[in-house]
Structure 1
Amino acid sequence: GQQREAGPEALRDAAHQALEWASLPASAIERVWQTGVDPRRSLCLATVLSDAGLPQAHKGEMCKLNALLGQVGNASPWLGIAAASQKIKEGAGPQFMFSGDGGVEDGLWCTVLTPAPPLLKQGVSAAGAPDVR
């Protein structure tokens, strides 16, 4: 979901919306990413992490891609998706990402990335019914 208004309440709502769309509780998130987020928003992010019940709120851990790569502008969300996807490929579970384009006033995006479930097991359709081809 996207933060539509200024303030932690709107960002918290966007975080809850992203979790809801992914049909996941906050406790299922294994890692939180931050990319393209102005450093002056750190307090707001900490508040949202805590309010949403995301696990990094208590550990003080968040992967901050800007600190590693510098400001990359509009590429920030794509780099975040690539990094989180790589972690999932390596066997990690669901990932949560705050992303923006670096502006302090711009609404942030909240995104949940999850491992894809297998679509078809041998002898069983995607819906769980026996495959009778």
Structure 2
Amino acid sequence: EPLSDAFGAGRLAEAFRDRRQGPKTLLLDQRTVAGLGNIYVCEALHEARISPFRPAGRVSRPRLEALAGAVRGVLERAIAAGGSTLRDFSAADGALGYFQHSFRAYDREGEACPNAGCGGVIRRRVQAGRSTFWCPACQK
């Protein structure tokens, strides 16, 4: 559970140890972290400046600290905004979410990376059947 006290860099280090899959694939696996969806994983990896394609076992401890904080921060901001409303989705009570107005990477293909001083352009690639949005200039 990414919003629990048990979630952190140590938990990610255990899950990523010696793994060749990218961190995005592992974060979407509910056995690794419960409840993370594609949008929030793309946003967290972008915030932490970690490539979704880098072998997860090669992500350093400081970067795992950044990723754990980014996952928590993205989820907290999304909850505060009522989630993300894409196409015809709404919450059970019919309310619409507004987090999609804050996306920095997801669904921003071809746009300038919003990270200060980056100068890169957000790209899209299909990974494990899902769209992955990332900045090749700052997500290493």
TM-score surpassing 0.5? no
Determine which structure has greater relative contact order: mean sequence separation of CA pairs < 8 Å that are 6+ residues apart, divided by chain length: 1
Q: So what's the TM-score if we normalise by structure 1? A: 0.29
Larger Rg: 1
Q: So what's the TM-score if we normalise by structure 2? A: 0.28
Pick the structure with more strand per residue: 1
Pick the structure with more helix per residue: 1
